[in-house]
A and B are shown apart, each in its own frame.
Chain A
Amino acid sequence: MTTTHDGFPATRRLMLKGAASVALIGLGNLPFSVAPAFAAANDKYPEDAFKQKSDADAVKALYGKTAEPSDKVKMDAPEIAENGAVVPISVSSTLENVTSISILVAENPNALAAFYLIPAGTLPSVANRLKMAKTTNVIAIVEAGGKLYSTAKEVKVTVGGCGG
């Protein structure tokens, strides 16, 4: 599966670097500092991060670092999702210099659900609707000033969003 970037000519400039980082993760043991071109740092589609199973691996593939819990990351999610196929989730932050927000669903087949690039001038707040396979933690990660901050909330799912 390859992504077509025809609609996004601006992304081409980083395609090479992106490919390099994918290769590095494949090798697994090279220091990340050599290849800082994690998807989160540019606007290329972070294919590799979306393929990771666990939330920890997805965050590593996306940002190359880990997040610390912070009460400055706010997440609004229902206690019980009315249907796992459509779970309204919104994330906002009171942190300064937010550059991205990502949302992960811990026990989905692939944890990373959505990544949002927040350019300067855009408010650090996003609302969307996600699928959840079962009751699990939803994790919000806010990137601010080059660091990662997170919060998590368990959402109960009674009808899974992956079933037929």
Chain B
Amino acid sequence: MRSAIHFASAALALAALSFGAMPFAVAADTPDPAADAKAFQKFFTEKFPKVKLDDFVNGPYSMNEDMHRQWEEKEQFPPYDFSLDLGKEMFAKPFKNGKSYADCFPNQGIGIRQNYPTFDEKEGKVVTLELALNRCREANGEAPFSYVKDEMAALTAYMAFTSRGKPFDIKIPNDPRALEAYENGKRYFYTRRGQLNFSCASCHVQNPGERIRAEVLAPALGILNAMPIYRSEWGGMGTISRRFTTCNSQIRGVPLEPQSDEYRDLEYYLSYVSNGLPVSGPGARP
């Protein structure tokens, strides 16, 4: 069995990263998201030559054969089934005012997961699917849901399911604020924080497939394509908001509020660099 993260080598690699040795850290002066995404995907496909590009959306299961077998067994009757059905039911049920989620989204909300997050040029900010769902509720006089689990996970599970297989298609409009949001997200992704002094990239770029204590780390590429997920560790469903906040607590940092500007930008960056990879959510994870 391979060992956990070697702090020394992680530190060395990060040092290299900060000196611009890695392709996606180069373009610091002139932001070029398209080049970033290309370099990001190239990094992963070169690190894991045996894993097909589309397979990265299956997270740790794409990295390890024994786990892949357990996953296949689980997918025969996936544990997110109940949540998916609840989401379908909720999505179809009108609000008290007679309107429904379908009225808030293009194409009645069906098969559009791959377009989120979007950049709202009116607001000048990133709008995630979870945020859009709660805004839809509030616009129709309903109380917003918790961002991390249960109802929100059920709704996004259903919306992801109707978009399964569609390639991520995140757009950065020609608006300096959009580019800035992207750059902010990227900076958040590579910045170390918490008592463990890890960045998102320490685990999910430098060490995917390795174990950190008991868990096999998922690759950052395609990680959001599988959301929301049923995690055995959680004993239930979790959203992208839950994924981000738990990551921050696990490195012993202080998580931000779900759907804070930083998390919205992070989701924007991380989704953009996975453009072209298919929606695989809802997913099941250890």
A residues with a Cβ closer than 8 A to B are 78-83, 85-86, 88, 127, 158-159
Contact of B73 among A80, A88, A159 (CB under 8 A): A88
B211 surroundings in chain A (CB, below 8 A): 158
Closest B residue to A81 by beta carbon equals B70
The reply to whether A82 and B73 form a contact with Cβ atoms under 8 Å apart is no
Contact residues of B: prevailing secondary structure: mixed
Taking A78-B69, A159-B215 as contacts, is the C-beta distance between A83 and B233 under 8 angstroms?
Answer: yes
Quick one: closest A residue to B74, CB to CB?
A88
A85 engages B232 (CB within 8 Å): yes
**Cα–Cα distance between A81 and B214 once the two chains are bound (Å):** 10
Those of B215-267 within 8 Å (CB) of chain A: 215-216, 232-233, 235
Chain B residues, Cβ within 8 Å of A158: 211, 213-215
Given known contacts A83-B286, A158-B214, A78 and B235 CB-to-CB distance under 8 angstroms: no
**B66, CB-defined interface residue at 8 Å:** yes
SS of A interface (majority): loop
- Render B252-286 as a binary contact track against A, CB cut-off 8 A, 1 for contact: 00000000000000000000000000000000001
Query: B residues engaging A (CB < 8 A)?
Result: 1, 66-67, 69-71, 73-74, 79, 211, 213-216, 232-233, 235, 286
Question: B209: shortest Cβ distance to chain A, in Å?
Answer: 14
* Contacting pair A78 B70 (CB below 8 A): yes
Q: Could you write out 26 A-B pairs with CB less than 8 Å apart?
A: A78-B66, A78-B69, A78-B70, A80-B66, A82-B67, A82-B70, A82-B71, A82-B232, A82-B286, A83-B233, A83-B286, A85-B232, A85-B233, A85-B235, A86-B74, A86-B79, A86-B286, A88-B70, A88-B74, A127-B73, A158-B211, A158-B213, A158-B214, A159-B214, A159-B215, A159-B286
Distance, CA A85 to CA B233, complexed state (A): 7
Chain B proximity of A22: nearest CB distance (Å) = 33
Give the chain A neighbours of B74 by CB distance below 8 A. Answer: 86, 88
Nearest-CB distance from A88 to chain B (Å)? 4
Question: How many Å lie between the Cα of A158 and that of B211 in the bound state?
Answer: 10
The 6 closest A-B CB pairs, nearest first, are A158-B214, A82-B286, A83-B232, A86-B232, A159-B214, A83-B286
Tell me which residues across on chain B come within 8 A of A88, comparing CB atoms: 70, 73-74
Which chain A residues border B232 with CB–CB below 8 Å? 82-83, 85-86
User: What B residues does A78 contact at CB under 8 A?
Assistant: 66, 69-70
Q: Measured between alpha carbons, how far is A80 from B213 in the docked complex, in Å?
A: 13
Q: Provide the residues of chain A in CB contact with B79, threshold 8 Å.
A: 86
Chain B residue with the shortest CB-CB distance to A82: B286
Bound-complex Cα distance A65 to B66 (A)? 35
CB of A144, distance to nearest CB on chain B (Å): 25
Please report the C-alpha to C-alpha distance between residue A158 and residue B212 in the assembled complex, in whole angstroms.
11
- Known pairs A158-B215, A159-B286 / 5 extra A-B pairs, C-beta < 8 Å: A79-B66, A82-B67, A83-B232, A86-B286, A159-B215
